Structure 1
Amino acid sequence: MPVGDVPGWRQIFKDDFTSDVPLGQFPAAQPWKWSAYDEGWRDTSRNGTYSPARVVSVKNSIMDLYVRTEQNVHLVAAPLPRIYGPGTQGGLIYGRYAVRFRADPTPGFKMAWLLWPDSEKWTDGEIDFPEGELTGEIEAFLHHKGAPTTQEAFKSGSGFNEWHTAVIEWTPTEVRFLLDGKLLGVVTDRNIIPDHPMHWVLQTETALDGRRPASQAKGHIQIDWITAYSLEIPSNF
């Protein structure tokens, strides 16, 4: 896990998962560091049910999200790192977000790890990376500020089953997406780049194709480490 500031960025959150958390105790075991979408909430497709206590655990320095179906309920989770930014939900205005992860190719499930507006207004924009169905490829998206149904999209050609490091760099002048140290895409139009506080959500859910996952579909999404940085903004911005 990267430790310390990097040029232009101040590290303000990190977790190398050195403390085990068994199933049933997340996020209550570390409430100062993690929260999650509430138990029982429905996910974006309405086919999945958020259940962090039954899905999320930490062992051997890995956070594990075990998505599956139990008694016809498709269990998913959306952990939220507590970053304590200036926004009403602790979000930052601009930031750098890095995570090392992999996932089993589990049909019917996807991830959309995203920056979501503290205002809860989609018109403030949205930034998603990594996103994609777990059987597909990793993609990145920026939903335009002011017109979020319009988006910039970037494909990686890489699947989820290998270990990857994904980085979002969000500044007033650009949003950069990097996968394994290589630039996947960049957005430079300041008119569409979000400029309100946004918080980080590791939203892991059922696929959006309208079909429910098969009852036997199950798999693990693993996170090796995660870290976030605030932007040190030069005076000329």
Structure 2
Amino acid sequence: MVLTLLQPGTEDPSLSAAMVNDSSRRSASDTALSAGPVLANGGGSALGDAAQGASGQIGQALAAQEAAERRAEERRREAAERARAAASSGGSGSSGNSGGAPAAGPVGGAVQVAGDGIQAALKMGWQAIGGDEFLGSTLGSNWSPYNGAGHDGQGRRTSDAISVENGNLVIRGDSQGNTGGMAWGTSQKYGKWEMRAQFPKGDKQYHPVLLLWPSEVSWPEGGEIDFAETTSASDDVSFFLHYGSSNSQKDAKKQLDITQWHNYAVEWTPDAIVGYVDGVEWFRSEDPNTFPPGPMHATIQLDYFPDGGSPEPSEMRVAWMRQYK
């Protein structure tokens, strides 16, 4: 089967129009996601903790570098453990890591990486088939960054807004509405996806979103699963399930300190679509009429919703994206 990767900002005008004209799907979130109080940044980050602990001894910059190296090594060990488990149990799979570490095999019994929190995948024994740990210095080849008009034709999506720094993907939005987004090249119908993300305090006009986008059936008929969507100024996060030609929606909202690191996951089976935060279920739909009709692929975006003048620069960070059977 030949899969056509649908993504906003591509040269295909029909696909670009489908994404940039999706203001109707986001309008509900514009009013639902309100600005919250300023909160401390980075408390759940091993990198932030290490930098703070080393302050005054070897300097914050050096501490950050060393912490990133330790974190990368921990991830490599975890990936190696998964690979050994797969080999001993007869499992198989392929690596999708930009850093070259294996990401296949059963993970139910794997030891969680320190600082990576409670993961739905480890809790429920999902079997990994690929993903990206963002261990390198550049974006992996399985990602396709967007270049073109921004959300609803406002601002601009550019690959210049995307970087890989200290073991994290970083997408930045500037004061002019220049921001970024990218699509993962491996699609599947049914499966599970989990991402570890942090949304530092920023401007309400920027909307971080982790989602699944249709790969074969055009939007809106192809559906859309936003399993983490918020604004950079919010104190909550929302789940939006879009379905049908009229872009109908089911949604849920959860109070959450989004400035801290959290694990956001979605499970899509023939029986249900379920959302998780830090291994705890918070959204479920068992109505088959709400399910996507075809394969989906993972997408990471920082969307610009102009509302009230020039935005303050904002960013989102993702430590890893993992895809499961």
Both structures adopt the same fold (TM-score exceeding 0.5) = yes
Aligned residue in 2 for 1:196 = 294
C-alpha contact 2:188 2:297 (8 A) present in aligned 1: yes
* Structure having the higher Rg: 2
1:195–1:212: structure 2 CA closer, same or farther, 3 Å change rule? same
User: Structure 1: any 5+ residue segments left out of the alignment?
Assistant: 22-26, 84-90, 231-237
In structure 2, distance between residues paired with 1:156 and 1:171: 23
The structure where strand makes up a greater share of residues is 1
In structure 2, distance between residues paired with 1:196 and 1:8: 25
Cα deviation for residue 177 of structure 1 reads 0.3
1:125–1:105: structure 2 CA closer, same or farther, 3 Å change rule? same
Aligned residue in 1 for 2:202 = 106
In structure 2, distance between residues paired with 1:44 and 1:158: 25
Aligned residue in 2 for 1:233 = none
Give SS of 1:18's match: coil
Cα deviation for residue 8 of structure 1 reads 7.2
In structure 2, distance between residues paired with 1:205 and 1:213: 16
Aligned residue in 2 for 1:117 = 214
Letter in 1 for 2:143: W
Aligned residue in 1 for 2:321 = 226
C-alpha contact 1:109 1:213 (8 A) present in aligned 2: no
Aligned residue in 2 for 1:131 = 229
The structure where helix makes up a greater share of residues is 2
In structure 1, distance between residues paired with 2:291 and 2:145: 26
Cα deviation for residue 106 of structure 1 reads 1.6
C-alpha contact 1:168 1:175 (8 A) present in aligned 2: yes
In the alignment, structure 1 residue 63 sits paired with structure 2 residue 63: no
Cα deviation for residue 134 of structure 1 reads 1.5
In structure 1, distance between residues paired with 2:230 and 2:261: 15
Letter in 2 for 1:202: I
Q: Which has the higher contact order (CA 8 A, sep 6+)?
A: 1
Aligned residue in 2 for 1:46 = 153
Aligned residue in 1 for 2:144 = 35
In the alignment, structure 1 residue 178 sits paired with structure 2 residue 276: yes
For residues 208-227 of structure 1, give each alpha carbon's deviation from its aligned partner in whole angstroms, at most 9, with x where no partner exists: xx526525x11221111111
**Aligned to 2:179, which of 76, 79, 83?**
76
Provide the TM-score with structure 1 as the length reference: 0.79
Cα deviation for residue 172 of structure 1 reads 1.1
Provide the TM-score with structure 2 as the length reference: 0.59
1:79–1:128: structure 2 CA closer, same or farther, 3 Å change rule? same
Q: Which residues in structure 2 correspond to 1:137-156 (within 5 Å)?
A: 137-144=236-243, 146-156=244-254
Aligned residue in 2 for 1:18 = 135
* RMSD over aligned Cα atoms: 2.0
1:213–1:106: structure 2 CA closer, same or farther, 3 Å change rule? farther
In structure 2, distance between residues paired with 1:213 and 1:226: 33
In structure 2, distance between residues paired with 1:179 and 1:34: 24
In structure 2, distance between residues paired with 1:42 and 1:211: 17
In structure 1, distance between residues paired with 2:298 and 2:133: 17
Q: Percent same amino acid among aligned pairs?
A: 24
In structure 2, distance between residues paired with 1:19 and 1:138: 29
1:58–1:74: structure 2 CA closer, same or farther, 3 Å change rule? same
